Structure 1
Amino acid sequence: MNKEEVVEMTKLHIGEWKDLLILYKFGLDEINTKLKILNEEFKYMYNHNPIEHLKSRVKDPAGITEKLKRKGCDPTKNNAREYVQDIAGIRIICSFVSDIYKIYDMLDQQDDIHVFEVKDYIENPKPNGYKSLHLILEVPVFLSNRTEMVKVEVQIRTVAMDFWAGIEHKLYYKYEKSVPDHLAGELLKAAETVHALDEKMSGLKKEVDLLEASHV
């Protein structure tokens, strides 16, 4: 089944997906609200915003169906909840690598959030150079007649990591997942440059923090 056929099929069943997708929208709302509060609290306490900006989205039925097909699963709502972890997704962009782990710690300390999975591609980058911290969080969504636990994928990365990932993503689709070797090599070199930049900026931040502390 090609992508066009998947889109047409899901159009026929769009109504069946609405009650599922609204749950994931509410899950995103819960996490987004928490992040905004935590960011403001952090700014108030430390005069520093760990979050530069947020991007969030709910995957559409065509995207969910396509992913289930790739996994060899029937395109049902139950299978979507069981096997597709990124129906709801948030990308958090930070200035410094240290901010990434501060945000993770703040989320992990929330009583009503369960950290379901952690993939640290910063400590252990992918072979192509990709870096980011990936979390799968479970958050309660309180409806009028029940409470549902909803999974939300959270990706946390620096501005530099996000820029690199955006370029890699464009090349990945331009060459239909088969990036030429010479471009893959250049991407890996660029990832090393991004790492060096993040290290340099972290060092500068430490110097600034020390100067500010000495004047208190």
Structure 2
Amino acid sequence: MKHLILWDIDGTILRSGGVAGESLRAAMTRTFGVITGAPFAYAGMTDRQILFNSYPDHDQAALLDQMPGFIDIYMEELSARREEYARRGGPMPGVREVLQHLQQTPDVLQTLLTGNIKDSARAKLSFFGLDHYLDIEIGAYGSDHHHRPALVPFAVQRAAARYGRTFSGQEIVVIGDTPNDVACGKANGARIIAVATGAFTSQQLREAGADAVLEDLTDTAIAVKIILGE
């Protein structure tokens, strides 16, 4: 295998129409009480970091101790909004075709690098029949660490354990829609493909240091060529 492709979800593979954030806030309120942190944008953040920022007056270790119960409640909230998610959100244009093409490409292994906890990542993709295109088990998630750049080694180690192949440097491709995705890739020496399908413009993503920027994924051939560095 020549490429380990690490996909972000929100703003890259899927648009949620605000449903994911509503589910997350409802679960936090049910688990930890009224949110005390000032409002902030979630884009590019891990769920752990969102939790810490939402409750700045709470001990972080104490918050993490309650994570199992929080995850159960979050999944309840997300599942209860499944129809609303389908109505207001959905796959980004062209993403299904790109995922399918890469899945069928020799020497390519694709998984997730996302701020979502693993359970919500799997659920979101399964809502739209996209989960089978990626090896979710070797991905890296917001449930692994709060700091996004720290997630890449989790995916690398899991890929090595499962496939006997250790990826490094430009063999790793990070695909995302925020400057945080770009910073994550840069911190790990990966190649970074940014897509301007989220809250940030192409110019902002270029200025952040992405190796390539796509407006969207609607042209499958071009998207695949750029992702694979051909």
TM-score, with normalisation over the residues of structure 1? 0.26
Q: Which has the higher contact order (CA 8 A, sep 6+)?
A: 2
The structure carrying a bigger helix percent of its residues is: 1
TM-score with structure 2 setting the length: 0.25
Could you say which structure has the higher strand fraction? Answer: 1
Which protein has the larger Cα radius of gyration, Structure 1 or Structure 2? 1
